[in-house]
Amino acid sequence: MARVLVLVNSVGLLLFGSEMFLVGANRPPAPVNVSVMHLRADSATVSWEVPEGDIIIGFSISQQRMDGKMQRFIREVNTTSRSCVLWDLEEETDYIIQVQSIGLYGESKASNRIHFRTLKKTDRFPSNSSNQDDPTVQGLDKARHLQTGEMIIIVVVLLMWAAVIALFCRQYDIIKDNDSSNSKEKVKPSSERTTPEHHSGGLLRSKFHQSVSSISIIEV
Protein backbone atom coordinates (compact mmCIF):
# COMPACT_ATOMS: atom_id res chain seq x y z
CA MET A 1 0.00 0.00 0.00
CA ALA A 2 2.82 2.35 0.84
CA ARG A 3 4.43 1.61 -2.50
CA VAL A 4 1.21 2.49 -4.29
CA LEU A 5 1.00 5.84 -2.52
CA VAL A 6 4.61 6.61 -3.35
CA LEU A 7 3.96 5.71 -6.98
CA VAL A 8 0.87 7.94 -7.13
CA ASN A 9 2.76 10.85 -5.57
CA SER A 10 5.62 10.39 -8.00
CA VAL A 11 3.26 10.44 -11.00
CA GLY A 12 1.52 13.55 -9.65
CA LEU A 13 4.80 15.36 -9.14
CA LEU A 14 5.92 14.35 -12.62
CA LEU A 15 2.73 15.65 -14.24
CA PHE A 16 2.86 18.87 -12.26
CA GLY A 17 6.50 19.40 -13.14
CA SER A 18 5.91 18.75 -16.84
CA GLU A 19 2.96 21.17 -16.84
CA MET A 20 5.02 23.85 -15.16
CA PHE A 21 7.82 23.26 -17.67
CA LEU A 22 5.43 23.62 -20.61
CA VAL A 23 3.90 26.76 -19.15
CA GLY A 24 7.32 28.27 -18.52
CA ALA A 25 8.48 27.38 -22.02
CA ASN A 26 5.42 29.04 -23.59
CA ARG A 27 5.74 32.27 -21.64
CA PRO A 28 6.61 35.30 -23.76
CA PRO A 29 10.07 36.82 -23.57
CA ALA A 30 10.70 39.96 -21.56
CA PRO A 31 10.11 43.34 -23.25
CA VAL A 32 13.15 45.07 -24.77
CA ASN A 33 14.16 48.66 -25.54
CA VAL A 34 12.23 50.03 -22.59
CA SER A 35 12.49 53.83 -22.43
CA VAL A 36 10.86 56.78 -20.70
CA MET A 37 9.96 59.94 -22.61
CA HIS A 38 7.70 62.98 -22.40
CA LEU A 39 8.85 63.66 -18.86
CA ARG A 40 6.81 66.15 -16.88
CA ALA A 41 6.59 67.13 -13.24
CA ASP A 42 3.67 64.75 -12.63
CA SER A 43 3.71 62.31 -15.56
CA ALA A 44 5.88 60.30 -17.92
CA THR A 45 5.38 57.91 -20.83
CA VAL A 46 6.88 54.41 -20.85
CA SER A 47 7.39 52.63 -24.16
CA TRP A 48 8.85 49.22 -25.04
CA GLU A 49 9.14 46.63 -27.78
CA VAL A 50 8.17 42.96 -27.89
CA PRO A 51 10.08 40.32 -29.91
CA GLU A 52 8.18 39.14 -32.95
CA GLY A 53 6.52 35.75 -33.10
CA ASP A 54 4.89 35.81 -29.67
CA ILE A 55 1.23 36.36 -28.90
CA ILE A 56 0.95 39.21 -26.41
CA ILE A 57 -2.41 40.07 -24.87
CA GLY A 58 -1.36 42.72 -22.35
CA PHE A 59 1.34 44.17 -20.16
CA SER A 60 2.21 44.76 -16.53
CA ILE A 61 4.28 47.66 -15.16
CA SER A 62 5.92 47.88 -11.76
CA GLN A 63 6.52 51.47 -10.62
CA GLN A 64 8.47 52.22 -7.44
CA ARG A 65 10.12 55.24 -5.88
CA MET A 66 13.84 55.04 -5.27
CA ASP A 67 13.34 55.61 -1.55
CA GLY A 68 10.94 52.67 -1.42
CA LYS A 69 8.07 54.66 0.07
CA MET A 70 5.58 53.84 -2.64
CA GLN A 71 5.09 51.04 -5.13
CA ARG A 72 2.39 50.78 -7.81
CA PHE A 73 1.41 48.07 -10.25
CA ILE A 74 -0.32 48.72 -13.56
CA ARG A 75 -1.83 45.77 -15.43
CA GLU A 76 -3.80 45.81 -18.68
CA VAL A 77 -5.02 42.92 -20.83
CA ASN A 78 -6.76 42.62 -24.19
CA THR A 79 -4.56 45.33 -25.63
CA THR A 80 -1.73 45.53 -28.14
CA SER A 81 -0.40 48.83 -26.84
CA ARG A 82 3.35 49.17 -26.41
CA SER A 83 3.28 52.30 -24.27
CA CYS A 84 1.69 53.55 -21.07
CA VAL A 85 1.39 56.95 -19.39
CA LEU A 86 2.32 57.14 -15.71
CA TRP A 87 0.21 59.71 -13.85
CA ASP A 88 0.19 61.23 -10.37
CA LEU A 89 3.97 61.37 -10.06
CA GLU A 90 5.76 63.69 -7.68
CA GLU A 91 8.04 66.38 -9.00
CA GLU A 92 11.81 65.99 -8.71
CA THR A 93 11.44 62.38 -7.61
CA ASP A 94 13.42 59.32 -8.72
CA TYR A 95 11.46 56.29 -9.92
CA ILE A 96 12.30 52.78 -11.08
CA ILE A 97 10.06 50.82 -13.45
CA GLN A 98 10.00 47.33 -14.93
CA VAL A 99 7.73 46.02 -17.69
CA GLN A 100 6.36 42.50 -18.23
CA SER A 101 4.50 41.09 -21.21
CA ILE A 102 1.35 39.05 -20.66
CA GLY A 103 0.85 36.10 -22.97
CA LEU A 104 -1.62 33.24 -23.25
CA TYR A 105 0.33 31.14 -20.74
CA GLY A 106 1.31 33.76 -18.22
CA GLU A 107 3.63 36.69 -17.75
CA SER A 108 7.15 37.10 -19.01
CA LYS A 109 10.18 37.88 -16.92
CA ALA A 110 10.56 41.49 -15.90
CA SER A 111 12.54 43.79 -18.14
CA ASN A 112 15.67 45.61 -17.05
CA ARG A 113 15.20 48.20 -14.35
CA ILE A 114 14.78 51.69 -15.82
CA HIS A 115 15.47 54.78 -13.74
CA PHE A 116 14.08 58.26 -14.41
CA ARG A 117 13.56 61.48 -12.50
CA THR A 118 10.58 63.80 -12.85
CA LEU A 119 11.01 67.51 -13.54
CA LYS A 120 10.16 70.63 -11.63
CA LYS A 121 6.90 72.31 -12.48
CA THR A 122 8.89 75.23 -13.90
CA ASP A 123 11.26 73.05 -15.94
CA ARG A 124 10.65 72.32 -19.59
CA PHE A 125 13.56 69.97 -20.22
CA PRO A 126 15.60 67.68 -17.98
CA SER A 127 18.90 68.86 -16.59
CA ASN A 128 22.18 67.92 -18.25
CA SER A 129 23.30 66.12 -15.09
CA SER A 130 21.36 62.99 -16.07
CA ASN A 131 23.28 59.93 -17.13
CA GLN A 132 23.61 59.88 -20.92
CA ASP A 133 23.50 56.08 -20.93
CA ASP A 134 20.13 56.11 -19.19
CA PRO A 135 17.35 54.98 -21.56
CA THR A 136 15.33 57.90 -20.24
CA VAL A 137 17.83 60.38 -21.65
CA GLN A 138 18.01 58.46 -24.90
CA GLY A 139 14.24 58.63 -25.25
CA LEU A 140 14.30 62.36 -24.52
CA ASP A 141 17.02 62.91 -27.13
CA LYS A 142 14.86 61.17 -29.72
CA ALA A 143 11.93 63.40 -28.81
CA ARG A 144 14.12 66.50 -29.08
CA HIS A 145 15.41 65.49 -32.51
CA LEU A 146 11.84 64.89 -33.62
CA GLN A 147 10.73 68.30 -32.42
CA THR A 148 13.70 69.96 -34.16
CA GLY A 149 12.89 68.20 -37.43
CA GLU A 150 9.25 69.25 -37.20
CA MET A 151 10.27 72.88 -36.64
CA ILE A 152 12.58 72.80 -39.67
CA ILE A 153 9.80 71.40 -41.85
CA ILE A 154 7.37 74.08 -40.65
CA VAL A 155 9.88 76.87 -41.36
CA VAL A 156 10.61 75.53 -44.86
CA VAL A 157 6.90 75.30 -45.66
CA LEU A 158 6.31 78.87 -44.44
CA LEU A 159 9.18 80.17 -46.57
CA MET A 160 7.81 78.38 -49.62
CA TRP A 161 4.37 79.90 -49.06
CA ALA A 162 5.91 83.36 -48.66
CA ALA A 163 7.78 82.96 -51.96
CA VAL A 164 4.62 81.82 -53.75
CA ILE A 165 2.63 84.78 -52.38
CA ALA A 166 5.36 87.25 -53.38
CA LEU A 167 5.47 85.81 -56.92
CA PHE A 168 1.71 86.00 -57.19
CA CYS A 169 1.68 89.66 -56.08
CA ARG A 170 4.39 90.53 -58.62
CA GLN A 171 2.50 88.87 -61.46
CA TYR A 172 -0.68 90.64 -60.40
CA ASP A 173 1.06 94.04 -60.48
CA ILE A 174 2.44 93.35 -63.96
CA ILE A 175 -0.97 92.35 -65.28
CA LYS A 176 -2.56 95.40 -63.68
CA ASP A 177 0.02 97.76 -65.26
CA ASN A 178 -0.53 96.20 -68.69
CA ASP A 179 -4.30 96.61 -68.41
CA SER A 180 -3.99 100.27 -67.41
CA SER A 181 -1.63 101.06 -70.34
CA ASN A 182 -3.96 99.35 -72.80
CA SER A 183 -6.95 101.33 -71.53
CA LYS A 184 -5.01 104.62 -71.90
CA GLU A 185 -4.22 103.84 -75.52
CA LYS A 186 -7.85 103.16 -76.32
CA VAL A 187 -9.18 106.33 -74.69
CA LYS A 188 -8.11 109.53 -76.73
CA PRO A 189 -8.56 113.24 -75.90
CA SER A 190 -11.68 115.08 -77.05
CA SER A 191 -9.62 117.39 -79.28
CA GLU A 192 -8.45 114.42 -81.32
CA ARG A 193 -12.06 113.26 -81.79
CA THR A 194 -13.36 116.58 -83.41
CA THR A 195 -14.48 116.40 -87.03
CA PRO A 196 -11.72 117.69 -89.37
CA GLU A 197 -12.52 120.68 -91.51
CA HIS A 198 -13.61 119.84 -95.05
CA HIS A 199 -11.43 122.03 -97.24
CA SER A 200 -13.21 121.20 -100.47
CA GLY A 201 -16.19 123.32 -99.45
CA GLY A 202 -14.09 126.50 -99.38
CA LEU A 203 -12.66 125.82 -102.83
CA LEU A 204 -16.11 125.24 -104.28
CA ARG A 205 -17.41 128.49 -102.83
CA SER A 206 -14.47 130.48 -104.25
CA LYS A 207 -14.95 128.97 -107.70
CA PHE A 208 -18.68 129.76 -107.48
CA HIS A 209 -17.97 133.44 -106.73
CA GLN A 210 -15.48 133.67 -109.61
CA SER A 211 -18.03 132.26 -112.07
CA VAL A 212 -20.72 134.69 -110.90
CA SER A 213 -18.42 137.71 -111.23
CA SER A 214 -17.42 136.71 -114.75
CA ILE A 215 -21.06 136.37 -115.80
CA SER A 216 -21.85 139.84 -114.45
CA ILE A 217 -18.96 141.32 -116.45
CA ILE A 218 -20.23 139.78 -119.73
CA GLU A 219 -23.75 141.14 -119.22
CA VAL A 220 -22.42 144.66 -118.87
Distance, in Å, from the CA atom of 172 to the CA atom of 33, rounded to the nearest integer, reads 57
Distance, in Å, from the CA atom of 167 to the CA atom of 172, rounded to the nearest integer, reads 9
Distance, in Å, from the CA atom of 177 to the CA atom of 139, rounded to the nearest integer, reads 58
Report how far Cα 26 is from the mean position of its chain's Cα atoms: 39
Residue 61 lies in a domain: yes
For 119-131, the pLDDT digits (tens) are 998 875 554 444 4
Domain range spanning residue 55?
Answer: 26-117
For 82-120, the pLDDT digits (tens) are 999 999 999 999 999 999 999 988 999 999 999 999 999
pTM of structure: 0.48
Q: What is the CATH number of the domain that holds 44?
A: 2.60.40.10
- Number of compact structural domains in the chain: 1
